[in-house]
């Protein structure tokens, strides 16, 4: 398959629907609009041609409504028992600032310095972190972006933003918690947000959570 085939499918099946919604129904839920167009996109990509005799399958379509917020709809044909599209995955990226020190108590000071370098500085060091949960939600409007923002604020931001992770939180305290590496932060954040959502919104499912320590370093914890 050529990138031009994908481009043609999107321009044919999705862009006119977006333009129509912007003009005539500006309050349309983007997830609902995307779900309505996904079968047509899949058909356009799947259609064989002389140069593409073998059929290919669309896995999903992800629409970035901003650099920090996106909606993804999976192609139901990818599942063993296809059914009408009733759910979407929404993602939003959040900022928080924190300090940490990478240090393993069972290692010697020399071993810690060899393993973590400057990140083992006894006074710690800081990052402007970002994290992005991916939540599978129903298309009935029962869970919105505002609900995700409230859950993220309650489960993560209120507890970890502007803290020294090793000194101010039990999750990363030496002798109590885990070393605050980016992969451990992603795991802790996933479990806290997952617990919050199961309590407040059992109709949704946290699929994954990614934490960026820098713009080049990140870790994702998946269900």
Give the residue numbers marked as catalytic.
119, 162, 213
3-state SS class at 106: coil
Answer yes or no: are the C-beta atoms of 103 and 120 closer than 8 Å: yes
Q: Considering only CA atoms, which of 223, 215, 184 is closest in space to residue 67?
A: 215
Identify each DSSP E strand in 65-189 by its residue range: 69-74, 87-92, 94-100, 125-138, 163-164
**101-131: burial string, b at 16+ Cβ within 10 Å, e else:** bbbeeeeeeeebeeebeebbeeebeebebbb
Q: How far is the C-alpha of 152 from the C-alpha of 94, rounded, in Å?
A: 8
Q: How far is the C-alpha of 171 from the C-alpha of 164, rounded, in Å?
A: 11
Identify each DSSP E strand in the chain by its residue range: 60-64, 69-74, 87-92, 94-100, 125-138, 163-164, 205-212, 218-222
Answer yes or no: are the C-beta atoms of 221 and 209 closer than 8 Å: yes
């Amino acid at each position: 398959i050529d990138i031009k085939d994908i481009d043609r499918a999107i321009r044919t099946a999705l862009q006119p629907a977006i333009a129509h919604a912007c003009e005539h129904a500006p309050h349309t839920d983007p997830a609902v609009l995307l779900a309505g167009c996904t079968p047509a996109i899949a058909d356009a990509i799947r259609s064989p041609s002389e140069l593409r005799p073998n059929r290919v399958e669309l896995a999903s379509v992800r629409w970035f409504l901003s650099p920090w917020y996106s909606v993804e709809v999976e192609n139901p044909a990818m599942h063993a028992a296809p059914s009408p599209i009733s759910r979407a995955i929404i993602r939003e990226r959040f900022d928080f600032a924190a300090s940490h020190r990478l240090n393993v108590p069972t290692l010697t000071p020399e071993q810690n310095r060899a393993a973590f370098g400057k990140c083992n500085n006894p006074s710690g060091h800081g990052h402007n972190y970002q994290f992005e949960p991916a939540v599978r939600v129903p298309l009935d409007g029962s869970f919105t972006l505002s609900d995700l923002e409230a859950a993220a604020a309650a489960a993560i931001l209120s507890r970890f933003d502007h803290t020294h992770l090793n000194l101010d939180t039990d999750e990363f305290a030496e002798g109590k918690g885990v070393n605050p590496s980016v992969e451990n932060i992603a795991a802790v954040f996933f479990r806290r947000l997952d617990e919050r959502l199961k309590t407040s919104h059992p109709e949704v499912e946290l699929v994954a959570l990614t934490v960026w320590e820098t713009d080049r370093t990140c870790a994702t914890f998946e269900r």
